[in-house]
Structure 1
């Protein structure tokens, strides 16, 4: 049996968007202090919103690129095809009425049995209402 890597969290695009836009050191510490994974679907979402991220960032261009490179150095991006169909189905059932776009993130969190870390309060509230509690708002993590 292949041993699964030990991750602390799976993060969604909302966490990365906030991090990249803010340029705050506490976000950088998140990626340095925790072992974080995300599905490769995040790359599509980042590409789709890259103009907004670049427009809203509070960092000068050179510092933004340096900051982003440091973050991505510490994230493991998992190809979607490595996520089990079983977990995709389970995640879809949980996410379908909340936001189907979050299915990949939740499926990966289910597969590795780690919390999904997000800034999406509607997602957190919706999942918790369905009895799924292994999800954390970023603000909850920072307030611990």
Structure 2
């Protein structure tokens, strides 16, 4: 099975050892993640650390572990840029 993963799913996997984290790491699925999602996560690491009570370094280590251990395929923006206008029309709320 192939699934698209957004920033919220990765936020969930980062802040606690949850079902989401296990699903990403132990599942036999392929996960597609737009490259900008990782930039968004890194921009919010301080906030995530504060809210979760986990250090920024620990969160960064977990993120690196997820990236290297899960079957994640990072999709560069240029590969889906042609669909961006239609996607914004279908779902105008960027969050």
TM-score grouping bracket, smaller chain normalisation: 0.7 to 0.9
CA offsets per residue over residues 46-84 of structure 1, 9 Å max, x none? 122111112233556675454322211222211101115
- Any gaps of 5 or more consecutive residues in structure 1? 1-6, 103-144
- What is the distance in 1 between the residues matched to 2:16 and 2:51? 8
Q: Kindly name which structure, 1 or 2, has the bigger radius of gyration based on alpha carbons.
A: 1
1:42 match = 37
CA shift for structure 1 position 27: 2.2
Task: Extract unaligned runs of 5+ from structure 2.
Answer: none
What CA distance in whole angstroms lies between the structure 2 residues aligned with 1:44 and 1:63?
17
Summarize deviations over 1:3-32 as a string: whole Å, max 9, x none.
Answer: xxxx611111111111111232x2222113
TM-score (norm 1): 0.53
Q: Distance in 2 between matches of 1:61 and 1:53?
A: 8
Show the 5 A alignment for 1:51-70.
51-57=46-52, 59=54, 64-70=59-65
CA RMSD of aligned residues (A): 2.4
TM-score, length-normalised on structure 2?
0.74
